[in-house]
Amino acid sequence: MKRSAAEIVREYGPFAGVESVHGVTYDGTHVWFASGDKLNAVDPANGKIARSINVAAHAGTAFDGRHLFQIAEDRIQKIDAATGQVLTTIPAPGGGGDSGLAWAEGSLWVGEYRARKIHQVDPQTGKVLRTIESKRFVTGVTWVDGELWHGTWEGDESDVRRIDPETGKVLEQLDLPAGTMVSGLESDGGDRFFCGGGSRGNVRTVRRPRRAAPR
């Protein structure tokens, strides 16, 4: 396993009226984050909130190209990103113990915080297709270039780690400075991660390590 200190590139926020950041996603233009009763779109160029959708937003956030997915209480809401309308809801696999959310390969990936698990879920029905065990409490989840990454937050320590999607084995780990929490995670598809900062109410950009050779 490779282990290194996370390189924090930039910080967005804290934002006025935002107490906590619960989930983070990226639609190619804006970074979206969940702040309890709102989903907010931040322009990563200037760090300003460009738009907000009033919707219950208690944990993970994801984007499939057209829709936003947002966990609230014990459900996952499917939201039309253009209109902000909640189209459908499916039950969340953790029954309310859910934390992070990601979209990849036609599935939703849901972190279950204290159970230290990541579930692959059918976005139509909410059926659990398979479950990956992690070693630490799971917060945000994201896929990039076939790599499964998730945030951890156990007690007072946080890191971002890449795990083997088959075995759950930790392949790589980026440690955040003490007292810095990761409450949501999303890749921009390139070499950046967006990390929610929990009750600090901010979003940080962390650099994704470069591969020695492209796969």
Partner 1 sequence: MESLITAAARALEAGDPLGALNRVALRNDAPSLALRGIAMAQLGDLARAKTLLRSAARAFGPREAVARARCVVAEAEIALVSRDLNWPVKTLAAARATLENHGDLANAAHAGHIEARRLLLVGRIDEAERTLAEVSTASLPPASQVARELVVAGIAIRRLRTEAARAALDRAAKAARLAGIPALTAEVYSTNLILDTPAARLIARGSEHPLLLGEVERLATSTALVVDTFHHVVRRQGTVVSFGTRPVLFALARLLAQAWPADVSREALIAGAFQAKHVDESHRARLRVEIGRLRTKLKPLADVSATKQGFVLAPRKTRDVIVLARPVEEKHANVLAFLSDGEPWSSSALALALDMSPRTVQRALEELARSNKVQSFGHGRARRWLTPPVPGFPTGLLLPGPLLKT
**Which single residue is written with the structure tokens 């396993």?**
1
d(CA 104, CA 107): 6
Q: Which is nearer to partner 1, 18 or 144 (CB)?
A: 18
Residue 82-111 contact track with partner 1, rule CB under 8 A, x = bound:
----------x-xxxxxx------------
Q: Does 198 bind partner 1 (CB under 8 A)?
A: yes
Given a contact cutoff of 8 angstroms between Cβ atoms, the answer to whether 162 and 171 are in contact is yes
Q: Which is nearer to partner 1, 75 or 208 (CB)?
A: 75
d(CA 33, CA 60): 9
Q: Which is nearer to partner 1, 144 or 197 (CB)?
A: 197
Give min distance, CB of 137 to partner 1, in A: 9
Q: Does 43 bind partner 1 (CB under 8 A)?
A: no
**In DSSP terms, which residues pair with 168 in a beta bridge?**
none
Out of 73, 122, 133, 145, the residue judged to bind partner 1 by CB under 8 A: 73
Given a contact cutoff of 8 angstroms between Cβ atoms, the answer to whether 129 and 213 are in contact is no
> What residues numbered 113-142 form the site for partner 1, per CB under 8 A?
113-114, 139
Q: Which is nearer to partner 1, 140 or 162 (CB)?
A: 140
**In DSSP terms, which residues pair with 78 in a beta bridge?**
69, 88
Given a contact cutoff of 8 angstroms between Cβ atoms, the answer to whether 69 and 79 are in contact is yes
Out of 153, 163, 202, 203, the residue judged to bind partner 1 by CB under 8 A: 153
d(CA 211, CA 215): 8
Give min distance, CB of 100 to partner 1, in A: 10
* DSSP per-residue codes, 146-202: TEEEEEEEETTEEEEEEE-TTT--EEEEEEPPTT----EEEE-SSSEEEEE-BTT--
Residues near partner 1 (CB under 8 A): 20, 22, 36-37, 56, 58-60, 71-74, 92, 94-99, 113-114, 139, 153-157, 179, 181, 183, 198-200
